[in-house]
Amino acid sequence: MAKKYPVKVTLTTKSTLPSVDFSNIPFGKVISDHMFVADYDGKEWTDFRIVPFGPMQLSPANLALHYGQSIFEGMKATKVGSEPYLFRPEMHARRFNVSAERMCMPTIPEDLFTQALEMLVDLDRAWIPEQEGHALYIRPLMFATDEYFGVHASDKYRFIIFTGPVGPYYPKPVSLWVEEVFTRAAQGGAGEAKCAGNYGAALLPAQRAKMAGYDQVMWMDAVEKKYVQEVGTMNLFFFMDGKIVTPTTTGTILRGITRDTLITILKDWGYTVEDRLLSIAEIADAHGRGTLVDCFGAGTAAVISHVSSITWRERRMDLPEANEASRPLSFRLKNYLSRYRIGLESDEKYRWMHSCANSGVMDLVDSTKMAI
For the chain, the structural domain boundaries read 8-169+352-363, 174-321
pLDDT at 232: 82
pLDDT at 371: 45
pLDDT at 35: 98
3 state SS of 62: strand
pLDDT at 121: 98
pLDDT confidence band for 325 (50 / 70 / 90): very high
**pLDDT tens digits for 89-134?**
999 999 999 999 999 999 999 999 999 999 999 999 999 998 888 9
pLDDT at residue 326 above 70? yes
pLDDT at 369: 52
Lowest mean pLDDT among 208-217, 251-260, 314-323, 363-372: 363-372
Identical fold between 8-169+352-363 and 174-321: no
- Computed from CA positions of residues 334, 337, 343, 346, in that sequence, does the dihedral angle turn out positive or negative? positive
Q: In this structure, what are the phi and psi dihedrals at residue 211, rounded to the nearest 5 degrees?
A: -65, -25
pLDDT at 345: 97
Residue 220 CA to residue 269 CA, distance in Å, equals 30
pLDDT at residue 159 above 50? yes
pLDDT at residue 157 above 70? yes
Q: What is the mean pLDDT of residues 135-159?
A: 96
Percent of the chain topping pLDDT 90: 89
pLDDT confidence band for 366 (50 / 70 / 90): low
Residue 255 CA to residue 202 CA, distance in Å, equals 18
pLDDT confidence band for 220 (50 / 70 / 90): very high
**pLDDT tens digits for 305-322?**
999 999 999 999 999 999
pLDDT at 333: 97
Nearest to 139 by CA among 154, 155, 156, 124: 124
- Computed from CA positions of residues 28, 360, 355, 15, in that sequence, does the dihedral angle turn out positive or negative? negative
Nearest to 216 by CA among 236, 244, 196, 197: 236
Residue 107 CA to residue 44 CA, distance in Å, equals 10
- Domain 174-321 belongs to what topology? D-amino Acid Aminotransferase; Chain A, domain 2 (3.20.10)
Query: Are the C-beta atoms of residues 243 and 270 closer than 8 Å to each other?
Result: no
Per-chain mean pLDDT for the chain: 94
Check if CATH label 3.30.470.10 holds for domain 8-169+352-363.
yes
Q: What is the mean pLDDT of residues 278-306?
A: 95
pLDDT at 368: 44
Residue 60 carries which DSSP code? Answer: T
pLDDT at 138: 98
pLDDT at residue 356 above 90? yes
Residue 38 carries which DSSP code? Answer: E
**pLDDT tens digits for 192-214?**
999 999 999 999 999 999 999 99
Q: What is the mean pLDDT of residues 8-37?
A: 95
Residue 351 carries which DSSP code? Answer: -
Percent of the chain topping pLDDT 70: 98
Q: What is the mean pLDDT of residues 20-25?
A: 92
Query: Are the C-beta atoms of residues 174 and 305 closer than 8 Å to each other?
Result: yes
